[in-house]
């Protein structure tokens, strides 16, 4: 008798459970079906269904649309009879990370920036490095010549220069080093075009420095003393907090952590150099550092190349950074983006910044890949840095005190700014310009160059600091890949 009662109760429980679950399962199936068609869970399928329109649909920028920031509200688009993409009302970070970086109301989906698209828990960092190292070696060893464009400008009589200058921040004590670099840049490039040189220092240049530098070129030379307001540490920096963080950085092996002039230099090159009155007249600059080496003959105008091919930034070495110097840089940037998501470029190099497979420990400490363009060589358009997005972002960084409470370098700052606010197709790899700054080298496989083709660094243990393969995979446009 008791056995029958027990069986009966079990059947009753099963029946009651079925009554409750069947309607819930039905609702779930309906929601999933609708989500695939309307809410963006299946992003590639959704992109096929949604036409490229100005408005709410522009918030799906990161999956192929290239329209500018939207000006209409969702209601405007509904009134116009256009389809409105509904952002799913979910709170699961795993789901949100797979959705576009902007929500339908234009606010930031911060979870998008927490997940690298090709993250694979089953793949070891060593394997990823081996694959990337092979990709880089195969890529850099391809024989090349000049960029394959039909608008390269050659020197000629009465040649009209672009609005540009060769630029160097240098101390009087670095005279021999800058003369060596000048000699090479003049021989390889500038003796053919005669672009002006601009030298900057936070103190006055010596008579000897000026005399010898002028003798090293036939071009115009300008010597600039940096205004103190653009160089000195801001007065709001908390000295006690600064010293506490300096001690922490020194304990973690961060170089130059206790050198105020180095912090000043990083801040200056990150966001104030282009505001020097003398530089206001120029659009482009080529940064030249003391004791750097240049290996290749350059017979075309690199500034006109930038101008005529719609490029805003040029580099030739791509590296990971030491994360202990920038532990708060990414989070401080995310704070800015939550307030100003409109500044994000729909074709930004987001995945290059989010990559977390080759050196995952860097991402764990800094919050992003730390990949950056090594800025001791850069040919760039100062109008990008002077633009609203970069300027407001730099102001936010500066107000946080991170250039002194940590050791934020100009290279990671430039790279994050470019990766978020610039169209990645406007960033150019000057693969044909052989260059060395201890210890890293870019040496193309070209008859124009006198260096060891493919050489990157003398020590294999440091090869993993090369982020160029990730730029090829996640940052380089098809036009750029076909440039050489």
Instruction: Cite the beta strand spans of 289-346 per DSSP E.
Output: 293-294, 313-315, 318-319
- Say if residue 39 is in the same domain as residue 142: no
Quote the CA–CA distance of 348 and 342 in Å, as a whole number: 13
* Stronger pLDDT, 458 or 23, i.e. the higher one: 458
- Say if residue 41 is in the same domain as residue 147: no
Largest pairwise CA distance in the chain: 113
Q: Which residues pair with 167 in a beta bridge?
A: 198, 287
Quote the CA–CA distance of 381 and 282 in Å, as a whole number: 9
Contact 201, 172 (CB under 8 A): yes
The reported pLDDT for the residue numbered 438 is: 97
**CA of residue 15 relative to chain centroid, distance:** 59
Residue 129 lies in a domain: no
Q: For 362-390, what is the mean pLDDT? A: 98
- Say if residue 301 is in the same domain as residue 374: yes
- Say if residue 94 is in the same domain as residue 144: no
Q: Is 107 helix (H, G, I), strand (E, B) or coil?
A: coil
Evaluated on CA atoms 356, 362, 364, 370, the torsion sign reads negative
Enclosing domain of residue 75: 2-106
Contact 451, 148 (CB under 8 A): no
- Say if residue 207 is in the same domain as residue 335: yes
pLDDT interval class at 34 (50, 70, 90): very low
- Say if residue 189 is in the same domain as residue 61: no
Q: For 379-387, what is the mean pLDDT? A: 99
CATH code for position 472: 3.90.550.10
Residue 52 lies in a domain: yes
End position of a domain, from candidates 59, 87, 106: 106
The reported pLDDT for the residue numbered 93 is: 80
Q: Which of 84-98, 212-226, 302-316 has the lowest mean pLDDT?
A: 84-98
The reported pLDDT for the residue numbered 22 is: 56
Supply angle C-alpha 151, 195, 166, rounded to 5.
Answer: 105
Quote the CA–CA distance of 390 and 272 in Å, as a whole number: 11
Evaluated on CA atoms 61, 356, 336, 428, the torsion sign reads negative
The reported pLDDT for the residue numbered 10 is: 52
Report the number of secondary-structure helices (H) and strands (E) in the chain.
Answer: 20, 12
pLDDT interval class at 309 (50, 70, 90): very high
Quote the CA–CA distance of 448 and 125 in Å, as a whole number: 36
Evaluated on CA atoms 18, 24, 30, 32, the torsion sign reads negative
End position of a domain, from candidates 106, 121, 153: 106
The reported pLDDT for the residue numbered 245 is: 98
Residue 141 lies in a domain: yes
Q: At residue 182, does pLDDT exceed 50?
A: yes
Residue 382's nearest CA partner among 165, 210, 171 is: 165
Q: At residue 311, does pLDDT exceed 70?
A: yes
Residue 452 lies in a domain: yes
Structure tokens at 50: 């949604």
Quote the CA–CA distance of 120 and 273 in Å, as a whole number: 41
The reported pLDDT for the residue numbered 139 is: 97
- At 138, give phi and psi (nearest 5°): -65, -40
- Say if residue 354 is in the same domain as residue 456: yes
Query: If you search the block for the tokens 């393969």, which residue do you land on?
Result: 469
The reported pLDDT for the residue numbered 2 is: 36
Quote the CA–CA distance of 369 and 319 in Å, as a whole number: 10
How many structural domains is the chain composed of? 2
- Say if residue 423 is in the same domain as residue 365: yes
Quote the CA–CA distance of 422 and 312 in Å, as a whole number: 8
In 3-state terms, the chain is what percent helix, strand and coil (to 5)? 50, 10, 40
pTM of the predicted structure, to 2 decimals: 0.82
Q: pLDDT tens for residues 415-437?
A: 999 999 999 999 999 999 999 99
Q: At residue 70, does pLDDT exceed 80?
A: no
In this prediction, what percent of the chain has a pLDDT beyond 90? 79
Residue 248's nearest CA partner among 446, 405, 103 is: 405
- Say if residue 145 is in the same domain as residue 93: no
Q: For 105-109, what is the mean pLDDT? A: 93
- Say if residue 157 is in the same domain as residue 100: no
Quote the CA–CA distance of 131 and 190 in Å, as a whole number: 38
- Say if residue 89 is in the same domain as residue 173: no
Q: For 49-78, what is the mean pLDDT? A: 33
Beta carbons within 8 Å of 177's beta carbon, 6+ residues apart: 170, 290, 291
Residue 295 lies in a domain: yes
Structure tokens at 131: 């694959």
Residue 225 lies in a domain: yes
Quote the CA–CA distance of 68 and 113 in Å, as a whole number: 20
Q: Is 437 helix (H, G, I), strand (E, B) or coil?
A: strand
Evaluated on CA atoms 188, 189, 192, 195, the torsion sign reads negative
Residue tagged active-site, from 174, 186, 355, 378: 378
Residue 315 lies in a domain: yes
- Say if residue 172 is in the same domain as residue 257: yes
**What is the overall mean pLDDT for the chain?**
87
Residue 117 lies in a domain: no
End-to-end CA distance of the chain: 88
Q: pLDDT tens for residues 317-348?
A: 999 999 999 999 999 999 999 999 999 999 99
Judge whether 463 counts as a catalytic residue: no
End position of a domain, from candidates 57, 91, 106: 106
pLDDT interval class at 41 (50, 70, 90): very low
DSSP-derived pairing of the beta strands 435-437 and 440-442: antiparallel
Evaluated on CA atoms 473, 477, 480, 482, the torsion sign reads positive
């Amino acid at each position: 008798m008791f056995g029958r009662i027990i069986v009966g109760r079990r059947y009753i429980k099963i029946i009651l459970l079925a009554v409750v679950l069947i309607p819930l399962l039905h609702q779930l199936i309906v929601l999933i079906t609708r989500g695939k068609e309307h809410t963006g869970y299946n992003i590639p399928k959704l992109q096929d269904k949604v036409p490229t329109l100005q408005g709410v649909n522009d918030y799906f920028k990161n999956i192929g649309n290239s329209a500018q920031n939207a000006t209409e509200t969702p209601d405007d688009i509904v009134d116009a009879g256009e389809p409105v993409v509904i952002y799913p009302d979910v709170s699961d970070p795993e789901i949100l990370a797979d959705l576009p970086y902007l929500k339908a109301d234009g606010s930031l989906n911060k979870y998008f920036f927490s997940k690298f698209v090709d993250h694979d828990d089953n793949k070891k960092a060593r394997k990823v490095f081996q694959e990337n190292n092979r990709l880089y070696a195969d890529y850099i060893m391809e024989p090349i010549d000049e960029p394959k464009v039909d608008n390269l400008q050659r020197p000629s009589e009465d040649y009209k220069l672009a609005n540009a200058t060769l630029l160097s921040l240098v101390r009087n004590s670095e005279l021999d080093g800058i003369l060596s670099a000048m000699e090479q840049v003049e021989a390889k490039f500038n003796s053919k075009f005669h672009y002006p040189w601009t030298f900057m220092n936070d103190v006055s240049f010596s008579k000897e420095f000026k005399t010898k530098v002028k003798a090293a070129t036939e071009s115009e030379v300008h010597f600039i003393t940096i205004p103190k307001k653009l160089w000195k540490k801001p007065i709001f920096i908390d000295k006690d907090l600064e010293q506490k963080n300096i001690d922490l950085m020194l304990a973690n092996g961060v170089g130059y952590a206790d050198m105020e002039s180095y912090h000043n230099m990083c801040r200056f090159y990150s966001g104030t150099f282009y505001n020097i009155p003398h530089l206001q007249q120029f659009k482009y600059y080529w940064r030249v550092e003391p004791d750097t080496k240049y290996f290749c003959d350059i017979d075309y105008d690199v500034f006109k190349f930038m101008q005529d091919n719609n490029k805003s930034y040029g580099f030739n070495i791509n590296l990971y950074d030491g994360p202990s110097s920038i532990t708060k840089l990414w989070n401080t940037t995310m704070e800015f983006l939550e307030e100003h998501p409109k500044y994000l470029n729909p074709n930004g190099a987001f995945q290059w910044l989010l990559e977390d497979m080759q050196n995952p420990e860097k991402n764990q400490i800094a919050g992003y890949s730390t990949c950056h363009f090594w800025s001791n060589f850069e040919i760039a358009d100062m109008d990008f840095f002077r633009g609203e997005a970069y300027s407001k972002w730099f102001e936010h960084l500066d107000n946080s005190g991170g250039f002194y409470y940590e050791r934020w370098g100009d290279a990671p700052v430039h790279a994050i700014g470019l990766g978020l606010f610039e169209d990645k197709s406007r960033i150019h790899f000057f693969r044909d310009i052989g260059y060395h700054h201890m210890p890293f080298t870019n040496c193309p496989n070209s008859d124009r160059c006198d260096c060891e083709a493919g050489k990157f660094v003398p020590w294999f243990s440091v090869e993993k600091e090369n982020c160029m393969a990730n730029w090829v995979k996640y940052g380089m446009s098809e036009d750029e890949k076909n440039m050489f």
